[in-house]
Amino acid sequence: MASSHLLCNHRLFFPPSSKKGHLSITPPAKLQFQRNPFVQASKKQLEVVYDPDERLNKLADEVDKEAPFSRLTLFSPCKINVFLRITNKREDGYHDLASLFHTVSLGDIIKFSLSPSKSNDRLSTNVSGVPLDDRNLIIKALNLYRKKTGSSNFFWVHLDKKVPTGAGLGGGSSNAATALWAANQFNGSLATEKELQEWSSEIGSDIPFFFSHGAAYCTGRGEVVQDISPPLPLDIPMVLIKPKEACSTAEVYTRLRLDQTSKVDPLTLLEKISRNGISQDVCINDLEPPAFEVLPSLKRLKQRVTAAGRGQYDAVFMSGSGSTIVGIGSPDPPQFLYDDDDYRDVFLSEANFISREENEWYKQLISTTTPQTAGTGSNDNL
The DSSP secondary-structure symbol of 21 reads: B
Write out the catalytic residue numbers: 79, 206
Higher pLDDT, 48 or 334: 334
Low-confidence winner among 4-8, 139-143, 332-336 (lowest mean pLDDT)? 4-8
| Residue-level pLDDT at 371 | 79
CA distance 32 to 34: 7
Q: From the CB of residue 82, how many other CB atoms can be counted at a distance below 10 Å?
A: 26
**Each residue's pLDDT tens digit, 298-337:** 999 999 999 998 989 999 999 999 999 999 999 999 999 9
| Residue-level pLDDT at 65 | 54
For the beta sheet containing 347-352, the strands, ordered from the edge strand earlier in sequence to the opposite edge, are: 315-318, 325-328, 237-242, 347-352, 372-373, 377-378
| Residue-level pLDDT at 44 | 40
* 132 has pLDDT over 80: yes
The DSSP secondary-structure symbol of 100 reads: E
| CB neighbour class for 64 (10 Å; exposed up to 12, middle 13-18, buried from 19) | middle
Residue 344 near residue 164, CB atoms below 8 Å: no
DSSP of 256-297: --GGGS--S-HHHHHHHHHHH---GGG--BTTHHHHHHH-HH
Task: Please report, to the nearest 10 degrees, the dihedral formed by the alpha carbons of residues 301, 305, 306, 309 taken in order.
Answer: 170
What percentage of the chain exceeds 70 in pLDDT?
79
CA distance 102 to 347: 20
pLDDT interval class at 27 (50, 70, 90): very low
* 204 has pLDDT over 70: yes
Q: Residue 164 is which amino acid?
A: P
**What mean pLDDT do residues 347-353 have?**
97
Which residues on adjacent β-strands are paired with residue 123?
Answer: 157
Helix or strand run (H / E) with residue 76: strand 71-89
| CB neighbour class for 59 (10 Å; exposed up to 12, middle 13-18, buried from 19) | middle
**Each residue's pLDDT tens digit, 144-194:** 999 999 999 999 999 999 999 999 999 999 999 999 999 999 999 999 999
Higher pLDDT, 32 or 128: 128
Burial letters 345-378, b for 16+ CB under 10 A, else e: ebbbbbbbbbbbeeeebbbbbebebebbbbeeee
Helix pair 171-186, 193-200: axis angle to 10 deg: 140
CA distance 169 to 273: 20
CA distance 257 to 260: 6
Q: Residue 43 is which amino acid?
A: K
**What mean pLDDT do residues 6-34 have?**
39
**What is the model's pTM?**
0.81
